[in-house]
Structure 1
Amino acid sequence: MTKPKVLISDKMDPNAARIFEERGCDVDVITGENPEELKARIGEYHGLAIRSSTTVTPEILDAATNLKVIGRAGIGVDNVDISYASGKGVVVMNTPFGNSITTAEHAIAMIMALARMIPAANARTQAGEWPKKDFMGIEVTGKTLGLIGAGNIGGIVASRALGLKMKVIAYDPFLTEDRAIELGIEKVDLDNLLSRADFVSLHTPLTDQTRNILSRERLENAKPGIRIVNCARGGLIDEAALKDCLESGQVAGAALDVFAVEPAKENPLFGAPNFICTPHLGASTTEAQVNVALQVAEQMADYLVNGGVTNALNMPSLSAEEAPKLKPYMALAERLGSLVGQLAHGNLTKISIEREGAAAQLNGKPITGAVLAGFMRRYSDTVNMVNAPYLAKERGLEVSEIRHERDGAFNTLIRVTVETESGPRSVAGTLFGSDKPRLVEIFGIGIEAELDGHMLYIVNDDKPGFIGRIGSLLGERGINIGTFNLGRRDAGGEAVLLLSLDEAPTVETIAEAEQVEGVKMVTSLVF
């Protein structure tokens, strides 16, 4: 049998190549190629191992006629077009926990550097000064650290901070009271955190919900003299507002390892008082680089040689025999989980996945994993179908799996229900033609729709002329409508409208849609 062939296109620990060879793969290490060179070469390879330097575009994927798996040695996969790779049947893997300790330790280092103003003191001392009186620092002992995000990395930061005798409070929509007690921290809301914390450290992904989570208003209303650390993602802080707050003294110091635009050759924060920065070094330790390289080699070799799937971002853990049959069910499950995750807000603690008809006869774990991956993706950019059940358990999400033997209106049906403060919210879907996912019910209202791309979800009064008003608004804004999907509880009552759009609506367009007569709610969705 021909050995799978793997290309390592970015610099990584040489032991990665050894692992590939020991596990039955041929491997080439060719780094530093430009996109055209990689495009010309990639067609002969079954696996592509990368870090951050290689960008896997649709053009490269089109040329990769034999490619089966892409492995990212690290967490972020912004340099891989995952959607396009999925369409080409290419599995995309990462190593979501390989950098956790390293990133957490960098955050602690930034806290200490801020507390004692080490970078500025070092620069002036080496310049021949002896500015001892200019650098009166503070102790971290007894200070309050506020964590925005208390997942894997945030939890490690909490344990290290507690060892430094700090008090730790945390804002995280998924943090349960039991998990907070286990970590030894206090769960609070964001405003409470910002009013109490002496230091704030961010450990959350960049999503529509977290972008500029430290806005100008929040920075200006925070505890005077607060110190801020961000080793998570650029874009979580309004950088211009942070500069103003540093200059006014409202923020006593800030330490950033990440920026909204990288590489950050220019930035408004450069030169601001009491500002420290590093060039995205969170994962840059010898141990982390070795760990992620070895992990990605092990995962990719296992998939190429044995069909095992670990830490895949676009498919669950399953055997090679199950994959063809389960693939359309998992696509449906992920879309249903994503839909209910985008529409149901608050601290959701229970989720139920029901299967009936043909779906009830299949392996339910990949289906559940797909639901959870879709549901939690808006909150974490490292979640996948393999680690989603673990992350759900870690955050205290109670998951119920129910298999019905009964015959229903559909040959196969998957229903996803979450418990909210307003009661249960449920969505359901089926397969048309055995492989085409379709939504058939949303929050008790029957509706048939594909869930794909950019969509607009509207709750409205069922009154004449409404569809025309919405269509006219979008037309005036130059937004093309792909499909209209309608449903209602009863004539003249509450109705829902799902629109597929050729492009994402702007914030301004959504605000205008909310003002259309008869509209109760408008939500932008993406799948």
Structure 2
Amino acid sequence: MAPRVLVSDKLSETAVQIFRDRGVEVDFQPNLGKDKDKLLEVIDQYDGLAIRSATKVTEKIIAAASRLKVVGRAGIGVDNVDIPAASKKGIIVMNTPFGNSITTAEHAIAMIFAVARQIPAADASTQAGKWEKSRFMGVEVTGKTLGVVGCGNIGSIVAQRGVGLRMRVIAFDPFLSQERATQLGIEKVELDDLFKRADFITLHTPMTDKTRGMINKDALAQMKDGVRIVNCARGGLIVEADLAEALKSGKVAGAGIDVFETEPATESPLFGIENVVCTPHLGASTTEAQENVALQVAEQMADYLTRGAVSNAINMPSITAEEAPILTPFVKLAECLGAFAGQVTEEAISSVEIVYDGLVSDMNTKALTSAVLAGLIRSQVADVNMVSAPIMARERGIQITEAKRDKSGVFDSFIKLTVVTEKQTRSVAGTVFSDGKPRFIQIKGINIDAEIGEHMVYTTNNDAPGIIGLLGTVFGKAGVNIANFQLGRNRPGGDAIALLYVDSPVSNEVLDEVRAHKEILSAKPLKFDIPPVA
């Protein structure tokens, strides 16, 4: 029996035809996604569900989807899909991460011009029968400094367009290498430096815990008087009330806002302020982009349903059915190694070396390397998956090398990750025990045996008496239960590390108390995609 796909949002007829051409039966109901009750009623009839943003694939929908094997999102954002629920039920969630990059970049450039020349307000004034030529005095972009925050796929296109407009382009991105910056013809800077120097600031970074509210009162205070800010990325990157205050005071001369803290945005502190250009999340809204992502998602879903090929999966690596039982635990280990390095590394990464030792060297190391890179980049780019991670790493100029070798130690298999930045080199190694659980076995060259949990804390310190007592006392006072506590050192009185597996997240206030101890060099919270023990 041919697989059956429901298209519940608006996709083009060309995309629908791709399913038919690949032998997939299609039920094209582009308005069904808005009727959650009807979707719930019929979802058990389909093997695949193709959506845009209108359809909400909730836990309730997934529970009712007895046949569903794959959800395909035409676009990058998957906020409307309950990915944990889908993963638990074995449903693959795919997106199309690169189909609308040029469109979004062009919208940002359009917003820069609109704000620089006050085009929307001038248009409204002129069409109202006024002739306020002196009111709409603009500024040239030529020769101005453009600050690009986030220089990945979209940001790098904006940077190139800025160079073409004869702007001085500076960029901040934790993963941007000096080599990639040179290739783009731009200057790589720290974020504070960008805030101080830029005449125009454009945001192209994803929403993470580190980037949420990054444009706030403190950040705005660092900027030039008369700076202009454009956001075509994510609404929550800007504290709208703080930006509104800066616009009213004249600190910020103008803003182009395509995304909002709450969408649809029926009200905002930014509405009604002079020289604020607002659009309703149009970054990806061109005919070309919408067609590109529609065709791409149809091809990906059809390939999976008819041939088992997995592309751009959010929650599954590209692994064959034969490999899965053996490889999957090492995929999780690889992700954890990358996630550890990504969360403790704050400088731009120039190169990554991955060593596969023992039996793991004979496995599908391409999938494992993708898992390492996904874990590494995910701390900065939330939408990354195992297919897009190598592309994103290359875009940032990160050199990636793999080495395979026969068993060289006590473990039958282990993976070692070494990350090189402009300031330092750090390494972490891990293995999978017979219970299938990943473990860290070495950090910074220091041997350790640490179970990996959802919430952890990593400290580096001088090897001195009292560290165990300090951590136990501070965490105990804060009500944080320590499930596991592992220590290591390179020599007596030398460098030491500790890994604590805790039952709940640890606040910055608690960590600040730890950091205040004279022997503590650093204390970082870590989070891993490991289900908590029931």
What TM-score do you get using the length of structure 2 for normalisation?
0.91
Query: Does structure 2 retain, via aligned residues, the 8 Å contact 1:175–1:396?
Result: yes
The amino acid of 1:20's aligned partner reads: F
Query: Does structure 1 retain, via aligned residues, the 8 Å contact 2:47–2:67?
Result: yes
Distance 1:127 1:454, change over 3 A: farther
Which segment drifts farther, 495-504 or 247-256? 495-504
Which residue of structure 2 lines up, in the alignment, with residue 137 of structure 1?
138
Distance in 2, matches of 1:394 and 1:305, equals: 32
Measured after TM superposition, the shift of residue 513 of structure 1 is 3.8
Distance 1:229 1:423, change over 3 A: closer
What residue ranges of structure 1 are gaps of 5+ in the alignment?
none
Which residue of structure 1 lines up, in the alignment, with residue 192 of structure 2?
191
Secondary structure of residue in 1 paired with 2:457: strand
Which residue of structure 2 lines up, in the alignment, with residue 20 of structure 1?
19
Measured after TM superposition, the shift of residue 471 of structure 1 is 4.3
Distance in 1, matches of 2:471 and 2:208, equals: 27
What residue ranges of structure 2 are gaps of 5+ in the alignment?
529-534
The amino acid of 1:15's aligned partner reads: T
The amino acid of 2:303's aligned partner reads: D
Which residue of structure 2 lines up, in the alignment, with residue 379 of structure 1?
380
The amino acid of 1:16's aligned partner reads: A
Matched pairs, number: 526
Measured after TM superposition, the shift of residue 332 of structure 1 is 1.0
Which residue of structure 2 lines up, in the alignment, with residue 67 of structure 1?
68
The amino acid of 1:431's aligned partner reads: V
Secondary structure of residue in 1 paired with 2:33: coil
Secondary structure of residue in 2 paired with 1:43: helix
Query: Does structure 1 retain, via aligned residues, the 8 Å contact 2:51–2:73?
Result: yes
Distance 1:455 1:267, change over 3 A: farther
Which segment drifts farther, 112-121 or 43-52? 43-52
Distance in 2, matches of 1:526 and 1:361, equals: 29
Distance in 1, matches of 2:42 and 2:141, equals: 53
Which residue of structure 2 lines up, in the alignment, with residue 263 of structure 1?
264
Q: How does 1:142-153 map to 2 (within 5 A)?
A: 142-153=143-154
Distance 1:475 1:237, change over 3 A: same
Measured after TM superposition, the shift of residue 156 of structure 1 is 1.6
Distance in 1, matches of 2:36 and 2:477, equals: 39
Distance in 2, matches of 1:44 and 1:469, equals: 58
Measured after TM superposition, the shift of residue 472 of structure 1 is 4.9
Measured after TM superposition, the shift of residue 407 of structure 1 is 4.0
Distance 1:56 1:187, change over 3 A: same
What TM-score do you get using the length of structure 1 for normalisation?
0.92
Measured after TM superposition, the shift of residue 479 of structure 1 is 4.1
Divergent runs of 4+, >6 A = none
Query: Does structure 2 retain, via aligned residues, the 8 Å contact 1:332–1:438?
Result: yes
Measured after TM superposition, the shift of residue 174 of structure 1 is 2.4
Distance in 2, matches of 1:205 and 1:263, equals: 19
Measured after TM superposition, the shift of residue 377 of structure 1 is 1.3
Distance in 2, matches of 1:244 and 1:478, equals: 39
Cα deviation code 1:326-377 (max 9, x no counterpart):
2221111111111111112312211111111110111211111111111111
Secondary structure of residue in 1 paired with 2:237: coil
The amino acid of 1:29's aligned partner reads: F
Which segment drifts farther, 138-147 or 107-116? 138-147
Query: Does structure 1 retain, via aligned residues, the 8 Å contact 2:97–2:388?
Result: no
Distance in 2, matches of 1:420 and 1:179, equals: 14
Distance 1:517 1:137, change over 3 A: closer
Which residue of structure 2 lines up, in the alignment, with residue 401 of structure 1?
402
Secondary structure of residue in 2 paired with 1:356: strand
Which residue of structure 2 lines up, in the alignment, with residue 94 of structure 1?
95
Secondary structure of residue in 2 paired with 1:235: helix
Secondary structure of residue in 1 paired with 2:235: coil
Distance in 1, matches of 2:416 and 2:76, equals: 31
Which residue of structure 2 lines up, in the alignment, with residue 7 of structure 1?
6
Distance 1:510 1:265, change over 3 A: farther
Distance in 1, matches of 2:513 and 2:41, equals: 48
Q: How does 1:415-430 map to 2 (within 5 A)?
A: 415-421=416-422, 423-430=424-431
Distance in 2, matches of 1:158 and 1:423, equals: 28
Which segment drifts farther, 25-34 or 424-433? 25-34
Cα deviation code 1:465-509 (max 9, x no counterpart):
654554454454444444444444456765433333444333333
Cα deviation code 1:241-285 (max 9, x no counterpart):
222221121111011111223232332222233212112111111
Q: Does 2:101 match 1:103?
A: no
Distance in 2, matches of 1:181 and 1:51, equals: 37
Secondary structure of residue in 2 paired with 1:315: coil
Which residue of structure 1 lines up, in the alignment, with residue 213 of structure 2?
212
Distance in 2, matches of 1:477 and 1:34, equals: 46
Secondary structure of residue in 2 paired with 1:133: coil
Q: Does 2:453 match 1:455?
A: no
Which segment drifts farther, 103-112 or 450-459? 450-459
Secondary structure of residue in 1 paired with 2:134: helix
Measured after TM superposition, the shift of residue 444 of structure 1 is 2.4
Query: Does structure 2 retain, via aligned residues, the 8 Å contact 1:5–1:45?
Result: yes
Query: Does structure 1 retain, via aligned residues, the 8 Å contact 2:338–2:371?
Result: yes
Distance in 1, matches of 2:519 and 2:69, equals: 49
User: % of aligned pairs identical?
Assistant: 56
Distance in 2, matches of 1:16 and 1:504, equals: 44
Distance 1:494 1:257, change over 3 A: same
Distance in 1, matches of 2:100 and 2:420, equals: 34
Q: Does 2:437 match 1:436?
A: yes
Measured after TM superposition, the shift of residue 107 of structure 1 is 0.6
Query: Does structure 2 retain, via aligned residues, the 8 Å contact 1:461–1:520?
Result: yes
Query: Does structure 1 retain, via aligned residues, the 8 Å contact 2:95–2:297?
Result: yes
Cα deviation code 1:135-187 (max 9, x no counterpart):
11122233222211222112222233333333322222322333223222222
Query: Does structure 2 retain, via aligned residues, the 8 Å contact 1:447–1:485?
Result: yes
Which residue of structure 2 lines up, in the alignment, with residue 315 of structure 1?
316
Q: Does 2:334 match 1:333?
A: yes
Distance in 1, matches of 2:67 and 2:484, equals: 35
Which segment drifts farther, 88-97 or 168-177? 168-177
Measured after TM superposition, the shift of residue 40 of structure 1 is 4.0
- Give the superposed CA RMSD: 2.5
The amino acid of 2:9's aligned partner reads: D
The amino acid of 2:401's aligned partner reads: S
Distance in 1, matches of 2:184 and 2:138, equals: 28
Secondary structure of residue in 1 paired with 2:318: coil
